[in-house]
């Protein structure tokens, strides 16, 4: 649980677990087209693949670290918007690429998405880190995408059945 009563968000060092999948969507009030690259500096929303809840933050205290709480929320508001901050020196105007570290800065509070093995949950989610948000970027605010899947329609030829 969380201080706000919303769903907890946890993290793992590296995992092929489908519960670690998040879909990138346009920020609230913005548009993006499927398959279009996400640019450094772009605002986005992340939708949890399994639950369809949005990665959310607000001015509540997280349960383990006392940082700013990050939760999964099924409402939609400005607390769902995150800005992609690319860390490579030559990233201005570039696209976010798979395996390239980025920081995700909460658009409403300017806090950075954070996870550290110093804040691990016990039972029933043993081994999972608390995900929270902090004001100062460091190595624990670096994130990367390991999977990038874009589905595109493939034109099909319909064969007429000669009868």
Domain ranges of the chain: 7-141
Interval 68-93: pLDDT, tens: 999 999 988 989 999 999 998 677 67
Domain 7-141 top-level CATH class: mainly beta
Q: What is the pLDDT of residue 152?
A: 47
> What confidence tier does 113 reach under pLDDT thresholds 50, 70, 90?
very high
Cβ atoms 46, 54 nearer than 8 A? yes
Interval 32-62: pLDDT, tens: 887 888 999 999 999 999 999 999 999 999 9
Bigger pLDDT: 9 or 91?
Answer: 9
- Return the residue matching tokens 């009868």: 163
Mean pLDDT of the chain: 86
* Pairwise CA distance, residues 92 & 89, whole Å: 8
> What confidence tier does 163 reach under pLDDT thresholds 50, 70, 90?
very low
Three-state SS for 35-94 is CCCCECCCEEEEEECCCCCEEEEEEEECCCCCCEEEEEECCCCHHHCEEEEECCCCCCCC
pTM of this structure? 0.85
């Amino acid at each position: 649980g969380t201080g706000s009563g919303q769903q907890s968000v946890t993290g793992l060092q590296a995992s092929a677990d489908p519960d670690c999948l998040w879909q990138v969507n346009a920020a609230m009030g913005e548009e993006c087209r499927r398959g279009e690259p996400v640019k450094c500096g772009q605002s986005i929303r992340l939708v949890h693949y399994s639950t369809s809840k949005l990665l959310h933050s607000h001015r509540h205290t997280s349960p383990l670290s006392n940082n700013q709480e990050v939760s999964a929320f099924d409402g939609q508001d400005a607390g769902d918007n995150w800005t992609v901050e690319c860390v490579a020196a030559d990233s201005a105007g570039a696209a976010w690429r798979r395996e390239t570290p980025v920081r995700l800065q909460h658009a409403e509070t300017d806090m950075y998405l954070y996870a550290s093995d110093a804040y691990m949950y016990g039972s029933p989610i043993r081994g999972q880190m608390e995900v929270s948000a902090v004001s100062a970027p460091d190595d624990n605010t670096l994130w990367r995408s390991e999977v990038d899947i874009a589905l595109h329609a493939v034109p099909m030829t319909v064969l007429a059945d000669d009868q």
